[in-house]
Structure 1
Amino acid sequence: MGDEPLVVETPPNVLGFINNAWFKYVMDFGNLGPDEGKGGKFLILPPGFEGEVSTDGYTDVVRTDTYAHWVLWRGYLDENGSPETAVSQTQEQFRIYPLSQADTPSEMTFVDVSGKEFNTIHLMDARIFEEINNVIQAEPLYGESPELLGYLAAIGIIKGQDFAPDTRMQSILERAAAAGAVTVKTLISKPRDELAYWYPGESNWQNAFPGGAYTFTIDGAMKHDFRSAFHFYATGITPAMAFKSPGKGSQYAFTYRDADGNALDGSKTYKPNVPANVPAKDFWSFTLYDNQTRSMLQTDKQFPALGSNDAGLVQNDDGSTDIYFGPEAPEGKESNWLQTVPGKGWNTIMRLYGPLEPWFDQTWRPGEIALVE
C-alpha cells in the first residue's frame, strides 16, 4: 500500500476482511463489519504514519503494521443461484486507491480467473524460505514477533541482509521443509487434541478455531499446532469466523476422514446425511478440496460444490438430505452427487451461512461421512 494512506470502498452484502502481510487481522467489512453490510468507505493508515488526515466520511479508520495486505470477501448468490448481483456490485462499488487520488481515483481493473489454471499456494520445499525472506525485506519488523524473527535470523533470514545459505545450510533447509510439509499435513488432517473437534470423541468433524480463538491463544498459551494447521489449510483470518453471531457470518466444519476415522479415498463412495432444518439462515454447502494443493478438487465439474442453493437437490421424506461423494454417481442420485478422483485423497468443508442457534448449542449436527462402497 506504500507510505501513504489507502482508501478502500466496499460493496454491500458481503463477508469481508483485511489481513496484513503476516496474515494478521486488520479489520472486517460487510455484514459483520462496521458498515453492517451496507457497503463502506475505509481509511487504512500505513506503518508509522504520523500525518494529519480528516476522518470525515469514512466508515472506519484503522492502522496497520505492514505495507502489503490481503483484501478478501465472499458475495452471495441470487435466489436463482446466479452470482450476477455480487459480481456487478463488486465491479461498480469496490475501489482501492491512495488518499492522494481521492478526488480522481483511477478506474479499477478486474481480472476474471474463473475456469483458468493458476497457482495460489505457497511452495512446500526449501524455496519457501525465499518467500519468507521476501516478506522480511519488504515489511517493518514490528509487524511480527521478535521470537519468530529470531528463529528466522538463526537460519540467515535477516532484514537488510542477503539470504544466501551455503551448501550446509541449504541441505538443512531442504530437509526442514520436507519434514515441515509432512508434519503440517498431519496436524490438519488428524489432530490429536480433542479441542480440534466439534464433537470430541463422537465425530471426525473438525473446528478451524478450537476454543473459539482466532488468535490460537487458549488459556494464555499459543497453540502452535492449531495455528500451523490453519495457515496451511486456509488463507485469511478474522474473529468473525470464530465468534458466535447467530444469523450472521458463517461457520465451518471440515474433515479429512470418514465415520470410521479412515482417510477419504477418491476411489470410494461415501454418503453423509444432512439432517432436516439445517440451522443456516442464508444457505449451506459442501465443497471438495485436494489434500495436497488445498485448492478445489479438479474434476469434470468446474466447481466441486453442492448445497441448498442448488435447484436440483433432492430431499428425503423426513426433510433430511443425503449427499454422495465418489468417482461415479450412484444410480438415481446424480443431483445429490459430487465427483471425486481415484488415486487422490480429498477433504470437505461444510459451510453454514447465517448460522443459527441450533448450530452453536449443538442440538443440530451434520451426519458423519459413511462409506458406501
Structure 2
Amino acid sequence: MHGAIRVAGFSLMTMFVSCGVGAQDLDTRIGKIAMEGELPAHESIAKLYAELDFQQATQSYLWALPLVSYAQWQAEFRDKLGARSGDLMVLNSYEDKLGVITANATTPYILGFVDLNETGPLVIELPPGPTAGGVGDFWQRAIIDMGQTGPDKGQGGKYLVLPPGVEPPADAGKYYLAKSETMNVLVGFRVLDPDPAKGTALVEQFKMYPYAKRADPAKTKLLSPGGKAWSGTQPRGLAYWQRLHQIIQKEPVNERDRFYMAMLASLGIEKDKPFNPTEAQHKALEQGALVGELIAKANTFAKRFPGAQYWPDRRWDTVLNIAEPSQRVAYYDQLWERSAWFYEAVTNTKGMVSKTPGLGQTYLGAYTDDKGNWLDGGKHYRLHVGANPPAKQFWSLTVYDTDSRCLIDNPQRKADLSSRQDLKKNTDGSVDLYFGPTAPKGFENNWVQTLPGKHWFSYFRLYAPTEAYFNKTWKLDDITAVK
C-alpha cells in the first residue's frame, strides 16, 4: 500500500516538473513576445509599455483634433496677425483665406476668438441681414447659431455667451442666451449678400463686448491679414502636443474626457504641470502623431460611416456626418465622425447640417475620380453639373490641397467655380467644370488650376438646398479623368 502511494507521488512530481513554467515566444501584431508560461517574460515588459504609450498617443491625437485645430487657429491670429481676444478678423480675399481649412472661397468670413477668462459673459450684437454663423466652443460644438438659421432668423439681435459655471444675469431675457462648456470660444459669421457694399455695411454694424461694459462698450476692432501668411492646419510632430498642452491649461476638463486626460498624463501632458516629456514619451508622441494623422486621413478621405456615400452609384460623400452639433447621439459621442470632420474642416453649426429645404447649407466631398483613384494634380478632369442644381441661393465647387486641407495655392489664384460666376453653360443649362495643370481651350472661365505632384479634393456646396437635393431626384456626376 505504502509502496503504491510512493509510486503515485513520484508520478505526480514528474508530471508537475514536465508541466512547469517554460520559455516560449508568442506571435503578436507587434512582433514576438517572450513568454514565461502564461506571463510575459520580464524582458518583454518594456516593449509592451512602449506599445501602450504609442496606442495612447495615437488615440489621443484623434481625440484632440478639434481642440488643437482651434488652438492653432487662435495662436496664428494672435502671433502672426496681431489679433487680441475679442478682435474680429475679416477674411475676404483669396490670400486671406489660404490659412482656413476647407474655406468657402465665395463668401467673406468674419471671425474672432474670445477668451472668456478675460471678458466674463460676452455680448454679441448681430445686425439684421443675410448672414450665417454662430458661436462655438473649443471642442467645436455649436453653442448657438446666429443669422438665418439662428433664433433671430436673419432679423438680428443681441446674444449673451456665458462661461462655464456662470449663472444668467437678471436681465438675461433681453438676450438670446448661449452657455459655453469651454472658456475659449469662436464667434463667426459669413455674409451671404452678393453686394460687397451691403456686406461691408453689415460687418461694420457688428458689435462684441464684455457684458460688464455694456453701458459703454468699446468699438469692435476689425482686422485683416493684410497679405501676411498664416495657417490654421494642425501642427505635426511634437508641436501638435505642445499646442494641446497649452490649450488644456486654459480649459475645464469635461467629464466625458477624463479617461483621455489619464492617457495624456502617462505621456507627460497634464493640466497645471509643465510639459517635459521623457525620451520614451517623446518617441511615443512623435510616432502617435505620425500614425494618428495617417488614420485621420483614412477616416476622412475614405469614410466608412454608414450612409456617408450620398448617392449609392456616385463617389460623393456627405462630409459632415455629425448628427448634431453637440456630437452626441443616444448611447455615445461621435468620436470618429468628429475626428473625420475636424481633420478636414473647421466649425460646425446646425445650419451646416440643414435638413430643411430652403435653409442652411449642405456639403458634399469628392476625394477620388469615378474609378476610385485619388485626384492627381498632374492630370486633367471634368465634372458635369446637371441643369437646375437644387440651390435656392447658389452653388459652389471648391478645390483644396489634400496635405493642408486649405484652398489650393495655385498660380491662377483661384480655387472655386460657382453659379455666381460667369461660367460657360451648355444648351440644356448644365455646365462642365474642368480641373488640371492647364486650361481647356474655350473653357478657361470653367477651370481651376491644379498642381502636379500634389493631390487635391473638392467640396460641392449648396446654399439653401431645395427638395430635389433631399429626395435625391437631382444627382451630381462624378469627377472623371480626361485626356
| SS in structure 1 at match of 2:448 | strand
Partner Cα distance (1:205, 1:328) in 2: 25
Deviations 1:287-317 (A, max 9, x none): 111111111000123341111000x211111
| Alignment counterpart, residue 364 of structure 2, candidates 232, 250, 253 | 253
Q: How many residues align?
A: 366
| SS in structure 1 at match of 2:408 | coil
Partner Cα distance (1:237, 1:345) in 2: 25
Partner Cα distance (2:241, 2:165) in 1: 27
| SS in structure 2 at match of 1:281 | strand
Q: Does 1:105 align with 2:222?
A: no
Structure 1 residue 115, shift from structure 2 partner? 5.0
Counterparts of 1:104-183 in structure 2 under 5 Å? Answer: 104-113=216-225, 115-142=227-254, 145-183=257-295
Partner Cα distance (1:164, 1:41) in 2: 44
Q: Does 1:284 align with 2:391?
A: no
| Contact residue 279 and residue 356 of structure 1 kept, 8 A | yes
| Alignment counterpart, residue 203 of structure 2, candidates 90, 101, 120 | 90
In structure 1, the residue matched to 2:190 is 74
The residue type equivalent to 1:273 in the other structure is H
| Contact residue 13 and residue 39 of structure 1 kept, 8 A | no
Alpha-carbon distance change, 214 to 100 in structure 1, aligned in 2, over 3 angstroms? closer
Alpha-carbon distance change, 151 to 40 in structure 1, aligned in 2, over 3 angstroms? farther
> What's the RMSD between the two structures over aligned residues?
1.9
The residue type equivalent to 2:346 in the other structure is T
Counterparts of 1:257-336 in structure 2 under 5 Å? Answer: 257-310=368-421, 312-336=422-446
Structure 1 residue 143, shift from structure 2 partner? 7.1
By percentage of residues, which structure has more helix? 2
| Contact residue 397 and residue 418 of structure 2 kept, 8 A | yes
Structure 1 residue 127, shift from structure 2 partner? 1.5
- TM norm structure 1: 0.92
Structure 1: any 5+ residue segments left out of the alignment? none
Alpha-carbon distance change, 114 to 235 in structure 1, aligned in 2, over 3 angstroms? farther
Query: Runs ≥4 in structure 1, deviation > 4 angstroms?
Result: 211-219
Structure 1 residue 255, shift from structure 2 partner? 1.2
Partner Cα distance (2:464, 2:349) in 1: 16
Partner Cα distance (2:405, 2:297) in 1: 10
| SS in structure 2 at match of 1:150 | helix
Asked which structure has the greater RCO (Cα within 8 Å, sep 6+), the reply is: 2
In structure 2, the residue matched to 1:344 is 454
Structure 1 residue 217, shift from structure 2 partner? 5.0
Partner Cα distance (1:243, 1:151) in 2: 36
| Contact residue 162 and residue 168 of structure 2 kept, 8 A | no
| Structure with larger Rg | 2
Q: Does 1:361 align with 2:471?
A: yes
In structure 2, the residue matched to 1:45 is 162
Partner Cα distance (1:129, 1:328) in 2: 40
Q: Give the percent of matched residue pairs that are identical in Structure 1 and Structure 2.
A: 33
The residue type equivalent to 2:152 in the other structure is D
Partner Cα distance (1:118, 1:239) in 2: 28
Structure 1 residue 124, shift from structure 2 partner? 2.0
| Alignment counterpart, residue 25 of structure 1, candidates 142, 145, 155 | 142
Q: Does 1:230 align with 2:341?
A: yes
Alpha-carbon distance change, 302 to 371 in structure 1, aligned in 2, over 3 angstroms? same
